[in-house]
Structures are given as C-alpha cells and as structure tokens.
Amino acid sequence: MTEKQKMLTGLLYDPSIDKLENERLYAQDICFQLNQLSPSAIDKRQRLFKTLLGKTKQKFTIMPGFQCDYGYNIEIGEDFFANFNCIILDAAKVTFGDNVLVAPNCGFYTSGHPLDSQTRSSGLEFAKPITVGNNVWIGGNVIVLPGVTIGDNSVIAAGSIVDRDIPSNVIAMGIPCRVHKTLKAH
C-alpha cells in the first residue's frame, strides 16, 4: 500500500514522500496564485478553484487567504461561501453541503498526529474526513478537528473548537463545542 493510499484510508502514513510533497506544492502554487489575484478577477478565480478542488458546483465564493494541503479532497456544494483566511488541511476528504457559510479565520483540519511521542517523532500522521451538512453556518475563528460531522441546518458559534460530531438542527458552541440549543427542523 502506498503512503497516499494509507493517507486516504485513515492509516498512519509518511507525508514526506516525494509524491505527496509534490502534490502539496502543486496545491500551494495554485493557492498562491488565487491569493494574489485582484478582487475583480472573478472568472479567473473560479477557474483556478475548479482546477484545485475535487468537486464544486456552479455557484460558490471563496475569499482570499485560502490555503489547503491537496485540494482534490475538498468538495463544496452549491452556494458555498468561505470568508477570508479559510484553511482546509485535506489529507482526508472534506465535504461541504449546499448553502454553507464559513466566517473568517476558520480551519478544517483532517490531519492529526499520534499521541505516542516516539511514533509522533517518526514523522507519521493520520487523517480522518470532515463532513459539513447543508445549510450550516460556521462562525468566525472556528476550528473543526479530524473525523467530525456537522449535521444539516446547524450553527457553530464563533470561537468554537469542534472535536466531535454535532447533530442537525442545533446551535453548538464552546471549547470544546457542545450543543447549546435545538432549532426547529424545516
């Protein structure tokens, strides 16, 4: 099994192999280009994002300051909006549903490191997917950690650190993020 296959299946893998390093450099080059574009270069921005990301729908906006590891593991739904300084570490799949709003300075981190210091110092890491449902609003400065699913119609309050699944139709907040209130289902 290759290191990339290990990465994509959630096993410990070595991110320093040439193939993965080259794929990250490719994504970093595109992110650099995106972040240098004039705000009025909307068509060029959309083309570059469609080249970088694994799957997009027609209507989406991602503001400058965007960074990712690979790009091809990111899928965004219709009417996706990510404000300034969005970071997506996509060693595993990151999927956003339709009508998702991401406020400034948010991070979605699929990558993690072993707790055992000897294994961690060997350079191995793991990745677990993140899924964000439809009609979700993520407040500013939110961090979503590996393996988390956020259900449809939910709101994650600003400053939260989401370390476990959040159900549909709730407002969740805090460090760690927990359900605060249930919303009416539509």
**pLDDT per residue as tens digits for the range 153-183:** 999 999 999 999 999 999 999 999 999 999 9
Three-state DSSP at 84 gives coil
**Residue 110 sits in a domain of what CATH number?**
2.160.10.10
What is the number of structural domains in the chain? 1
Cα gap 39→46, rounded to integer Å: 12
Tokens of 107: 């991070």
Domain that holds residue 72: 3-182
**pLDDT per residue as tens digits for the range 94-150:** 999 999 999 999 999 999 999 999 999 999 999 999 999 999 999 999 999 999 999
User: Where in the sequence numbering do the catalytic residues fall?
Assistant: 113
* Residues in contact with 51: Cβ distance below 8 Å, sequence separation at least 6, in sequence order: 30
* Residues in contact with 130: Cβ distance below 8 Å, sequence separation at least 6, in sequence order: 92, 93, 94, 95, 108, 109, 110, 144, 146, 147, 148, 149
pTM above 0.75, yes or no: yes
Residue 53 is predicted with a pLDDT of: 97
